[in-house]
Structure formats: structure tokens, C-alpha cells
Amino acid sequence: MAKKTTKKSNPKDRIFKALEASLKHLAADGGGVEIVKVDQKKGVVEIRMTGGCCGCPFRDLTFAKMIADRLKEKISWIKDVKLVK
């Protein structure tokens, strides 16, 4: 019987999957996110908010609650999520 192989998912794919619901909400308002850098060893992810999120007065709150908190909750190795410009 052949061994079943499992492929580890790409960290960026896992991040987008964890943010799936949040991304739908952002897209509804013309916004989105870009993953700038992923450092699994340090547990740090850098995110840039795009589109309508760029000038939004609620950007920091949205980032903190819909992006950073959700990623730390869903992906165990993520310790810090930074918002970059």
C-alpha cells in the first residue's frame, strides 16, 4: 500500500483562508489586504490594507479586530500582526 502524502499549505494561503470572512466584509466596502511579509520563525505577519481601507477612519480598528485578532486566534504560530503602509 502506498504512503499517503500530505502537503503543508503555504503560509500565505493559510492566512487568506483564516481571513476569508473578514475579506468578504472588506471587499464589500471596496477594501482588501495584502500580505507583505511572513516570518514563521518569529511568528510575525506584516499586512497592508488596500483599496477603500487606505483612507478609512476605521482602518486601525478593523485591522485590530478583523485581521490581527482573527489571525492570532486561528493560526497558532502567529504571535504578532503588524500593519504596514
Interval 72-84: pLDDT, tens = 999 999 999 999 9
The C-alpha cell at 83 is: 500593519
- What is the domain partition of the chain in residue ranges? 11-83
The C-alpha cell at 57 is: 477612519
Burial class (CB in 10 A: 0-12, 13-18, 19+), 33: buried
3-state secondary structure of 17: helix
Q: What is the pLDDT of residues 32-75, one digit of tens each?
A: 999 999 999 999 999 999 999 988 999 999 999 999 999 999 99
The C-alpha cell at 30 is: 471596496
**pTM for the whole thing?**
0.83
Q: Classify domain 11-83 at the CATH class level.
A: alpha beta
Q: Which of 76, 34, 40 shows the shortest CA–CA distance to 54?
A: 34
Q: Which residue has the cell 497558532?
A: 76
